[in-house]
């Protein structure tokens, strides 16, 4: 900090020349030249799942079709669920906003796009020589979805009807410039409001037809907002009365309506872009001339598609996980059914976790927080259902079943190890941010309570080690003691909690018990008959066979997202993990393919990880539910296909790409650990490493050339450099640092919080 001001005193130009300190100027300015990131099409969408395009502000989301005569904007809000504390229920479709442009049947030059750089949808076409333009965005600061329809030169040619359709049996109220729908589900009351602001022309409302017509305008702004009276902090999950909900939404839309379109858009960009722009990826190719559906359908080898799919995951994260303390669900935020597959729920045996795999390392830590706060709220809720699951078994702590809802309801097969898996997310947030207050206040109470659950639950197995009794390997095989899935997750829990206990200085009796139990714990790593990581303890389980292509990789938790298996730790287990992955095959449901990207990246096999990335980008039109491993992939709108649409595969693939570029899970940074041969040169900006380091890197011929590391917390920085490629590290004043090198090839240097360091490489080595 001091050095920043000194630099400012000396003068900006001098500083640029020599490099300065702090975040303002980096010693080596790496600029990834990422082309425009945009999905685009030359036709309107005809199918919601595979063609419509998603926008969202973290809580409120919509899918726009871009129909010319009839625009359909289906929308959702994260808290609109059926069900209650005791009834499972499902995430609900909220409704549709329709804009009907009668007579727009012969048009030309149609384009429909979703620009990720601006989180902005756009539809343009020409009719009778007039250009019609629509823009769509979901504003986080103004809490509304904004649609603008316009024609140039103030030609008063806009004539269309606006309707708001409730996906339930609520009431509709039409006033001069607004439409309101409201009603009640099992527990929550809901309401949506639309406000129309016309420039030129006039608005006429038709109460019978429940629509408003816009006539002879040259511009119209349509604002949409929606919500329910759900409140996670309340005992019964309900906060406001219906009137209070109505007042809140009315105020929200009135404030938004008082702002100009330019102001709303500027607010949106100012909010979105700083977060999205933190990370850039440049693989050396430009924006392609073909539509996105053609790209994914017949040009899957495109490197642009790799960058786009990577950034799409980050876009979807910002669009579905900000604000309220609820995680994005199986479909993130977007759902057009009142009976969606698996209730579009919070699914605990891979899906919800995968949704957050890219949150920390792709520099969207704040998007992780809604999930983390949800975990803390439910795990520690007095008399909450998660605690009751444990209580019923006579245990302390908490546990969940495989399915769960926003009302704490949890059912279907008990999934005890999920509590440990959830805890790894709490720990990761600390590991990446070094936020000790978060660790002490939010994470640790949950970690401790979860450990207590397992202290009570574990028993001594035949091998004298502590094993989790009666467990399942999702989602196949028998229930038995010491299943790899449970052991490996409890191992991560104990490992993380012990580290946390030391950092915050937890009470000695707990730490001692944890240390003892950890030493006795079976770590879930055993090699089986065909050289695999065993999924079950007993050899007689007839599913633990070569060629079992089951979609879950539960016995490989220790490889990814866990940390026990690595070629840098123990070759035998890494080889066994490879054997297991080979046996599972390269197909799978959408999320299964995505998981395999990260697994191969952890085995440092870039080309195989890349093959899986392309497998994840397998074009499909299959929208009905299938458990078969052949149909997984993506739709034309690049939403992941389980099938059906399930967003975990999007997030998993983004995390997988990040894992190919940087890993930091073993106590040091490994740059380009799994670079595929098709990415020989490139650069990235802004990926995060554990210890709160932000990395920019340029590489050529498959090797690092320059790296800039911003130290967010002043931790010691350690980089894996087995072949001695690092020639020097300079601080922001170009002082060459003395490096500490270990026999294992790890180069370390102390850092100062807020300062950037330049790492230079000899790429001939
Ligand atoms: C898990 C998976 C399924 C599906 C479901 C939502 O149970 O095994 O493939 O993704 O979650």
Q: Tell me the per-residue pLDDT of 52-109, one tens digit each, with 9 for 90 and over.
A: 999 999 999 999 999 999 999 999 999 999 999 999 999 999 999 999 999 999 999 9
Q: Is the dihedral of CA 606, 611, 613, 614 positive or negative?
A: positive
- Let me know: does 453 contact 397? Beta carbons within 8 Å: yes
For the cut 90, the answer to whether the pLDDT of residue 190 exceeds it is: yes
For the cut 90, the answer to whether the pLDDT of residue 1 exceeds it is: no
Residue whose pair of structure tokens reads 């149609």 in the numeric block: 110
| pLDDT: which is higher, 491 or 12 | 491
User: Is the CB of 475 inside a 6 Å radius of any atom of ligand 1?
Assistant: yes
The residues facing 74 across adjacent strands are 63, 96
- 590: closest CA among 343, 368, 313, 364? 313
- Which ligand 1 atom sits closest to the C-alpha of 402? 7
Query: How many CA atoms lie within 13 Å of 384's alpha carbon, on the beta-carbon side?
Result: 27
Question: What is the H or E stretch that residue 448 is in?
Answer: helix 444-457
CA-to-CA distance for 126 and 678, rounded, in angstroms? 40
User: Is the CB of 347 inside a 6 Å radius of any atom of ligand 1?
Assistant: yes
CA-to-CA distance for 187 and 190, rounded, in angstroms? 10
CA angle, 599 then 602 then 603, to 5°: 90
- 467: closest CA among 543, 388, 525? 525
- Which ligand 1 atom sits closest to the C-alpha of 474? 8
Three-class DSSP category at 262: helix
Q: Which of 346, 646, 648 to mutate to test the pocket of ligand 1 (most atoms within 8 A of CB)?
A: 646
How many angstroms does the Cα of residue 449 sit away from the middle of ligand 1? Answer: 27
User: Is the CB of 349 inside a 6 Å radius of any atom of ligand 1?
Assistant: yes
Concatenating the DSSP letter of every residue in 452-486 gives: HHHHHH-EE-TTSSEE-SSEEETTEEEEETT-HHH
How many angstroms does the Cα of residue 384 sit away from the middle of ligand 1? Answer: 25
Average pLDDT score over the chain: 95
Q: For residue 525, is it left (φ>0), alpha (ψ between -120 and 50) or beta? A: beta
Length of the chain measured in residues: 765
The residues facing 529 across adjacent strands are none
Looking at residue 438, the DSSP 8-state letter turns out to be: I
C-alpha distances in Å from residue 747, one per residue of 115, 688, 760: 40, 18, 12
User: Which residue has the least CA distance to atom 3 on ligand 1?
Assistant: 627
What is the rounded average pLDDT of the residues 438-455? 98
pLDDT reported for residue 564? 98
User: Which residue has the least CA distance to atom 8 on ligand 1?
Assistant: 475
How many angstroms does the Cα of residue 409 sit away from the middle of ligand 1? Answer: 18
Q: Which of 328, 340, 341, 342 to mutate to test the pocket of ligand 1 (most atoms within 8 A of CB)?
A: 342
How many angstroms does the Cα of residue 474 sit away from the middle of ligand 1? Answer: 9
In three-state form (DSSP H/G/I as H, E/B as E, the rest C), the secondary structure along 12-57 is HHHHHHHCCCCCCCCCCCCCCCCCCCEEEECCCCCCHHHHCEEEEC
Local confidence band at 3 (pLDDT 50, 70, 90 cut-offs) = very low
Condensed to tens digits (0 to 9), the pLDDT of residues 669-686 reads 999 999 999 999 999 999
Task: Find the farthest-apart pair of alpha carbons in the chain and give their distance in angstroms, rounded.
Answer: 82
For the cut 60, the answer to whether the pLDDT of residue 641 exceeds it is: yes
pLDDT reported for residue 542? 87
CA angle, 190 then 196 then 200, to 5°: 175
For the cut 70, the answer to whether the pLDDT of residue 15 exceeds it is: no
CB count within 10 Å of CB 391 equals 15
Q: Which of 351, 413, 589 to mutate to test the pocket of ligand 1 (most atoms within 8 A of CB)?
A: 351
For the cut 90, the answer to whether the pLDDT of residue 358 exceeds it is: yes
- Let me know: does 648 contact 589? Beta carbons within 8 Å: no
Looking at residue 400, the DSSP 8-state letter turns out to be: -
585-603 residues labelled b (16+ CB within 10 A) or e (exposed): bbbbbbbbbbbbbbbbbbb
> How far out from the chain centre does Cα 117 lie?
17
Concatenating the DSSP letter of every residue in 182-224 gives: EEE-SS-EEEEEEEEEEESSEEEEETTTTEEEEEEESEEEEEE
- Let me know: does 652 contact 597? Beta carbons within 8 Å: yes
How many angstroms does the Cα of residue 552 sit away from the middle of ligand 1? Answer: 9
Q: For residue 462, is it left (φ>0), alpha (ψ between -120 and 50) or beta? A: alpha
What is the rounded average pLDDT of the residues 146-160? 96
- 732: closest CA among 9, 10, 16? 16
Three-class DSSP category at 246: helix
Q: Which two tokens stand for residue 479?
A: 């229930």
User: Is the CB of 589 inside a 6 Å radius of any atom of ligand 1?
Assistant: yes
For the cut 60, the answer to whether the pLDDT of residue 47 exceeds it is: yes
- In 415-566, where do the E strands start and end? 459-460, 466-467, 471-473, 476-480
User: Is the CB of 330 inside a 6 Å radius of any atom of ligand 1?
Assistant: yes
Local confidence band at 602 (pLDDT 50, 70, 90 cut-offs) = very high
Q: Which two tokens stand for residue 553?
A: 């990789």
Condensed to tens digits (0 to 9), the pLDDT of residues 528-578 reads 999 999 999 998 888 999 999 999 999 999 999 999 999 999 999 999 999
Report helix, strand and coil shares of the chain as percent, to nearest 5: 30, 25, 40
Q: Which two tokens stand for residue 728?
A: 């020097």
Terminal Cα-to-Cα distance of the chain (whole angstroms): 36
- 765: closest CA among 678, 704, 709? 704
How many angstroms does the Cα of residue 542 sit away from the middle of ligand 1? Answer: 22
Q: Which two tokens stand for residue 224?
A: 């949409």
pLDDT reported for residue 26? 58
How many angstroms does the Cα of residue 553 sit away from the middle of ligand 1? Answer: 12
How many angstroms does the Cα of residue 551 sit away from the middle of ligand 1? Answer: 9
How many angstroms does the Cα of residue 592 sit away from the middle of ligand 1? Answer: 9
CA-to-CA distance for 584 and 740, rounded, in angstroms? 41
Q: Which of 412, 414, 642 to mutate to test the pocket of ligand 1 (most atoms within 8 A of CB)?
A: 642
Local confidence band at 8 (pLDDT 50, 70, 90 cut-offs) = very low
- Which ligand 1 atom sits closest to the C-alpha of 591? 10
Minimum mean pLDDT among 29-43, 312-326, 353-367: which range?
A: 29-43
How many angstroms does the Cα of residue 354 sit away from the middle of ligand 1? Answer: 12
Residue whose pair of structure tokens reads 């704040």 in the numeric block: 366
CA-to-CA distance for 684 and 699, rounded, in angstroms? 9
User: Is the CB of 642 inside a 6 Å radius of any atom of ligand 1?
Assistant: yes
- Which ligand 1 atom sits closest to the C-alpha of 627? 9
Local confidence band at 18 (pLDDT 50, 70, 90 cut-offs) = very low
How many angstroms does the Cα of residue 39 sit away from the middle of ligand 1? Answer: 28
Local confidence band at 201 (pLDDT 50, 70, 90 cut-offs) = very high
How many angstroms does the Cα of residue 640 sit away from the middle of ligand 1? Answer: 13
How many angstroms does the Cα of residue 645 sit away from the middle of ligand 1? Answer: 12
- 38: closest CA among 396, 304, 357? 304
Condensed to tens digits (0 to 9), the pLDDT of residues 30-39 reads 788 999 999 9
- Let me know: does 297 contact 271? Beta carbons within 8 Å: no
- 137: closest CA among 261, 322, 292? 261
CB count within 10 Å of CB 47 equals 13
Q: Which of 475, 485, 629, 643 to mutate to test the pocket of ligand 1 (most atoms within 8 A of CB)?
A: 475
What share of the chain has pLDDT > 70, as a percent?
96
CA-to-CA distance for 272 and 284, rounded, in angstroms? 25
User: Which residue has the least CA distance to atom 6 on ligand 1?
Assistant: 342
User: Is the CB of 331 inside a 6 Å radius of any atom of ligand 1?
Assistant: no
User: Could you tell me which residues come within 8 angstroms of residue 511 by beta carbon, excluding any fewer than 6 positions away?
Assistant: 498, 501, 502
- Let me know: does 246 contact 190? Beta carbons within 8 Å: no
Residue whose pair of structure tokens reads 């429909």 in the numeric block: 112
Local confidence band at 738 (pLDDT 50, 70, 90 cut-offs) = very high
For the cut 50, the answer to whether the pLDDT of residue 588 exceeds it is: yes
How many angstroms does the Cα of residue 347 sit away from the middle of ligand 1? Answer: 8
For the cut 80, the answer to whether the pLDDT of residue 323 exceeds it is: yes
- Let me know: does 363 contact 279? Beta carbons within 8 Å: yes
pLDDT reported for residue 482? 97
How many angstroms does the Cα of residue 627 sit away from the middle of ligand 1? Answer: 8
Local confidence band at 765 (pLDDT 50, 70, 90 cut-offs) = confident
How many angstroms does the Cα of residue 637 sit away from the middle of ligand 1? Answer: 21
Condensed to tens digits (0 to 9), the pLDDT of residues 616-632 reads 999 999 999 999 999 99
User: Is the CB of 401 inside a 6 Å radius of any atom of ligand 1?
Assistant: no
How many angstroms does the Cα of residue 249 sit away from the middle of ligand 1? Answer: 35
- Which ligand 1 atom sits closest to the C-alpha of 642? 10
- Which ligand 1 atom sits closest to the C-alpha of 552? 8
For the cut 90, the answer to whether the pLDDT of residue 427 exceeds it is: yes
Condensed to tens digits (0 to 9), the pLDDT of residues 683-729 reads 999 999 999 999 999 999 999 999 999 999 999 999 999 999 999 99
User: Could you tell me which residues come within 8 angstroms of residue 139 by beta carbon, excluding any fewer than 6 positions away?
Assistant: 57, 145, 146, 256, 264, 267, 268, 271
- 616: closest CA among 656, 672, 581? 656
| pLDDT: which is higher, 763 or 55 | 55
User: Is the CB of 703 inside a 6 Å radius of any atom of ligand 1?
Assistant: no
The residues facing 645 across adjacent strands are 641
How many angstroms does the Cα of residue 624 sit away from the middle of ligand 1? Answer: 14
- In 524-667, where do the E strands start and end? 633-634, 640-641, 662-663
User: Is the CB of 708 inside a 6 Å radius of any atom of ligand 1?
Assistant: no
- 117: closest CA among 268, 262, 221, 256? 268
How many angstroms does the Cα of residue 117 sit away from the middle of ligand 1? Answer: 31
- Which ligand 1 atom sits closest to the C-alpha of 646? 10
How many angstroms does the Cα of residue 35 sit away from the middle of ligand 1? Answer: 35
How many angstroms does the Cα of residue 74 sit away from the middle of ligand 1? Answer: 25
CA-to-CA distance for 65 and 577, rounded, in angstroms? 43
- The H helix count followed by the E strand count for the chain is 19, 36
User: Is the CB of 551 inside a 6 Å radius of any atom of ligand 1?
Assistant: yes
Q: Which of 328, 330, 347 to mutate to test the pocket of ligand 1 (most atoms within 8 A of CB)?
A: 347
């Amino acid at each position: 900090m001091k050095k920043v001001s000194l630099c400012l005193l000396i003068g900006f130009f001098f500083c640029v020349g020599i490099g300065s300190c702090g975040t303002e100027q980096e010693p080596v300015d790496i600029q990834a030249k990422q082309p425009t990131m945009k999905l685009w099409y030359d036709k309107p969408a005809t199918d919601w799942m595979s063609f419509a395009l998603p926008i969202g502000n973290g809580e409120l989301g919509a899918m726009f079709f871009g129909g010319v005569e009839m625009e359909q904007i289906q929308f959702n809000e994260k808290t609109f669920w059926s069900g209650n504390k005791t009834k499972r229920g499902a995430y609900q479709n909220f409704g549709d906003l329709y804009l009907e442009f009668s007579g727009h049947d012969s048009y030309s030059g149609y384009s429909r796009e979703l620009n990720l750089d601006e989180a902005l949808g756009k539809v343009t076409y020409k009719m009778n020589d007039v250009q019609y333009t629509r823009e769509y965005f979901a504003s986080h600061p103004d809490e509304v979805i904004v649609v603008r329809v316009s024609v140039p030169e103030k030609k008063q040619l806009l004539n269309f009807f606006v309707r708001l359709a409730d996906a339930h049996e609520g009431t509709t109220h039409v006033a001069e410039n607004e439409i309101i729908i409201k009603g009640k589900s099992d527990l929550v009351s809901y309401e949506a409001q639309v406000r129309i602001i016309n420039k030129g022309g006039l608005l006429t409302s038709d109460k019978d037809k429940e629509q408003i017509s816009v006539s002879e305008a040259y511009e119209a702004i349509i604002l949409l907002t929606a919500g329910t009276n759900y409140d996670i902090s309340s005992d019964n999950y309900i906060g406001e009365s219906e009137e209070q909900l109505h007042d809140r939404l009315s105020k929200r839309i009135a404030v938004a309506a008082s702002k100009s379109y330019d102001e709303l858009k500027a607010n949106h960009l100012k909010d979105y872009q700083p977060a999205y722009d933190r990370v850039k990826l440049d693989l050396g190719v430009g924006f392609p001339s073909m539509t996105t559906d053609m790209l994914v359908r017949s040009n899957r080898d495109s490197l642009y598609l790799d960058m786009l799919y990577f950034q799409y995951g980050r876009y979807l994260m910002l669009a579905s996980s900000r604000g309220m303390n609820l995680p994005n669900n199986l479909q993130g935020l977007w759902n057009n059914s009142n009976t969606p597959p698996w209730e579009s729920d919070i699914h605990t045996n891979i899906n919800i976790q995968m949704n957050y795999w890219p949150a920390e390392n792709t520099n969207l830590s704040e998007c992780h927080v809604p999930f983390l706060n949800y975990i803390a709220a439910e795990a520690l809720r007095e008399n909450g259902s998660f605690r009751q699951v444990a209580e019923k078994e006579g245990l302390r702590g908490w546990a969940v079943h495989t399915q769960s809802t926003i009302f704490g309801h949890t059912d279907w097969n008990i999934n005890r190890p999920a509590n440990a898996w959830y805890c790894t997310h709490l720990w990761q947030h600390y590991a990446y941010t070094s936020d000790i207050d978060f660790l002490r206040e939010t994470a640790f109470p949950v970690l401790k309570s979860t450990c207590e659950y397992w202290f009570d639950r574990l028993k001594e197995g035949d091998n004298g080690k502590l094993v989790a009794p009666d467990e399942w390997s999702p989602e196949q095989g028998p229930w038995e003691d010491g299943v790899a899935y449970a052991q490996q997750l409890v191992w991560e829990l104990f490992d993380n909690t012990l580290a946390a206990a030391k950092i915050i200085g937890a009470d000695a009796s707990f730490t001692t018990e944890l240390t003892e139990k950890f030493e006795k714990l079976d770590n879930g790593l055993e090699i089986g008959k065909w050289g695999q990581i065993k999924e079950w303890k007993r050899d007689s389980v007839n599913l633990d066979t070569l060629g079992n292509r089951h979609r879950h990789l539960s016995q490989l938790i220790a490889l990814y997202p866990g940390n026990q298996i690595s070629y840098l730790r123990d070759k035998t287990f890494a080889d066994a993990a490879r054997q297991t992955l080979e046996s599972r095959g390269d197909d799978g449901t959408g999320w299964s393919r995505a998981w395999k990207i990260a697994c191969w990246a952890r085995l440092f096999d870039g080309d195989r990880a890349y093959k899986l990335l392309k497998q994840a980008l397998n074009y499909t039109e299959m929208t009905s539910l299938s458990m078969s491993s052949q149909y997984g992939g993506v739709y034309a709108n690049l939403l992941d296909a389980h099938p059906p649409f399930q967003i975990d595969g999007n997030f998993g693939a983004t995390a997988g790409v990040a894992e190919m570029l940087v890993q930091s899970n073993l106590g040091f940074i490994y740059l380009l650990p799994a670079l595929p041969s098709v990415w020989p040169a490139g650069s990235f900006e802004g990926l995060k490493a554990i210890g709160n380091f932000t990395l920019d890197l340029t590489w050529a011929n498959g090797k690092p050339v320059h790296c800039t590391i911003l130290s967010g917390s002043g931790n010691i920085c350690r980089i894996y450099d087995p072949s001695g490629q690092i020639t020097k590290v300079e601080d922001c004043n170009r002082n060459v640092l003395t490096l500490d090198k270990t026999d294992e090839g790890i180069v370390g240097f102390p850092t100062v919080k807020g300062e950037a360091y330049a790492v230079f490489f000899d790429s001939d080595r």
